Amino acid sequence: MQLNAPLDMHLHLRDGEMLEKIAKSSAETFSGAIIMPNLVPPVSTKEEVVAYRQRIEKAIGKETFTPYMTLFFKPSYDKAFLESIKDEITAIKLYPAGITTNSEGGVSGFDVEELRPALEAMSELNIPLCVHGETNGFVMDREAEFASIYERLATAFPKLKIIMEHITTKSSVDLLDKFENLYASITIHHLLITLDDVAGGMLKPHLFCKPIAKRPEDRDALLKVALAAHPKVMFGSDSAPHPKHAKEACGCAAGVFTSPIALQLLAELFDNNNASVENLQAFVSGNAQNIYDISVPNKTVFLEKTPFKVPSDYNGVVPMYADEEIAYSITKVENN
Ligand code: NCD
Ligand code: ZN
């Protein structure tokens, strides 16, 4: 099997030492990725975006890989600021305040009038809004409760492209066909696991993330649109590395590290479900190119159905399925 120009439309590359350790695991096999801005402090000025991109480019070295940069949403962004930064970014990411790692400076209340100046300017400038859609409610219901906020935003800003990030519930899937301007990214782990895998037996810290994996019927709804390559969904790993000591701790950091095995797992998943390579190609590249209207550097990844033993760690970061065998291996990558 071969995949052309794979894209990861939701990726945490971190900064400093962690960036140096993990950047290549995405850059070697993906053509590009949407880079999340939740650094400390979050990426929120032009200087910060430019400097972060340069640090990423340095960390990926000679690999062919485009970091599609994002900014951390603040209601105070005005049109002049957004115009000045437009060419440096591909999207802006909105976090509800305190909902996940490094999101303390995010939005609370979701008052449309408070958000209107920034969101209308984004809409006019054609800058997509990526959203972490969870409320502060009961953990299993947070995303479903956020549906009414998605509806409110999609209705109030009909020309704004809104991407529901890392969706995990049937309620989010159902919104895709209700609102023309709603799109979604889906991770590989939410296509594979449910809450049972995280906490049904021995607790698995390396499968703990936000949003938490949900019920079988939710996973089935995600699988249905991903395997069919629904044109409004695209792959976004939400690969979110944390140091081993922060995961294997009392007080485990949220995030699953999947970037080095994401394409192999996708190949296995589509194969097991008799879904076509064409659909996988659309899910992992074509749909994202259409949704974001981006040009992408070429790269061809060759995969084979040969077992691959997932390493226990990548430079000290423990991946999903560490020490386990997965069905597909990457045999070659051509940059062309
Ligand atoms: C992400 C992180 O660690 O930055 N964690 C996660 O569980 N997914 C943040 C996020 O996307 O929520
Ligand atoms: Zn994320």
**What percent of the chain has a predicted confidence (pLDDT) above 70?**
100
Q: Residue 37: pLDDT band by 50, 70, 90 thresholds?
A: very high
Candidates 3.90.420.10, 3.40.1010.10, 3.40.50.300, 3.20.20.140; CATH matching 8-258? 3.20.20.140
Q: Residue 336: pLDDT band by 50, 70, 90 thresholds?
A: confident
Does the beta carbon of 255 sit less than 6 angstroms from any atom of ligand 1?
A: yes
- The set of residues, in sequence order, having a beta carbon less than 8 Å from that of 201 and lying 6+ positions away, is none
Above 80 in pLDDT, residue 26?
yes
3-state secondary structure of 171: helix
Above 80 in pLDDT, residue 86?
yes
Does the beta carbon of 264 sit less than 6 angstroms from any atom of ligand 1?
A: no
For the stretch 135-180, pLDDT in tens is 999 999 999 999 999 999 999 999 999 999 999 999 999 999 999 9
Average pLDDT over residues 312-334: 98
- Which residue in 102, 107, 98, 105 sits closest to 129, CA to CA? 107
For the stretch 168-219, pLDDT in tens is 999 999 999 999 999 999 999 999 999 999 999 999 999 999 999 999 999 9
Q: What is the pLDDT of residue 153?
A: 97
Burial tier of 37 (Cβ tally within 10 Å: 0-12, 13-18, 19+): buried
The alpha carbon of 12 and the centre of ligand 2 are apart by a number of angstroms equal to: 6
Which of 12, 36, 70 has most ligand 1 atoms within 8 Å of CB, for mutation?
A: 12
Does the beta carbon of 240 sit less than 6 angstroms from any atom of ligand 1?
A: yes
3-state secondary structure of 84: helix
For the stretch 231-278, pLDDT in tens is 999 999 999 999 999 999 999 999 999 999 999 999 999 999 999 999
CB neighbourhood size of 53 (10 A): 18
Q: What is the pLDDT of residue 306?
A: 98
Does the beta carbon of 238 sit less than 6 angstroms from any atom of ligand 1?
A: yes
Q: How far is CA 298 from CA 6, 8, 65, 285, in A?
A: 9, 14, 9, 11
* Ligand 1 atom, smallest distance to 241 CA: 3
Domain boundaries, the chain: 8-258
Cβ contact 72:42 at 8 Å: yes
Does the beta carbon of 247 sit less than 6 angstroms from any atom of ligand 1?
A: no
141 is catalytic: no
The alpha carbon of 240 and the centre of ligand 2 are apart by a number of angstroms equal to: 6
Enumerate the H helices of the chain as residue ranges.
Answer: 16-27, 46-60, 79-85, 112-125, 142-156, 170-176, 189-192, 195, 216-227, 244-247, 262-272, 277-281, 287-292
CA distance 84 to 336: 33
Task: Supply φ then ψ for residue 327, to 5 degrees.
Answer: -80, -25
Q: Output the six-digit token pair for 63.
A: 């690999």
Per-state percent for the chain, helix, strand, coil, to nearest 5? 40, 15, 45
Q: Which residues pair with 325 in a beta bridge?
A: 309
Q: Which of 238, 271, 313, 323 is catalytic?
A: 238
3-state secondary structure of 109: coil
Q: Is the pTM of this model over 0.75?
A: yes
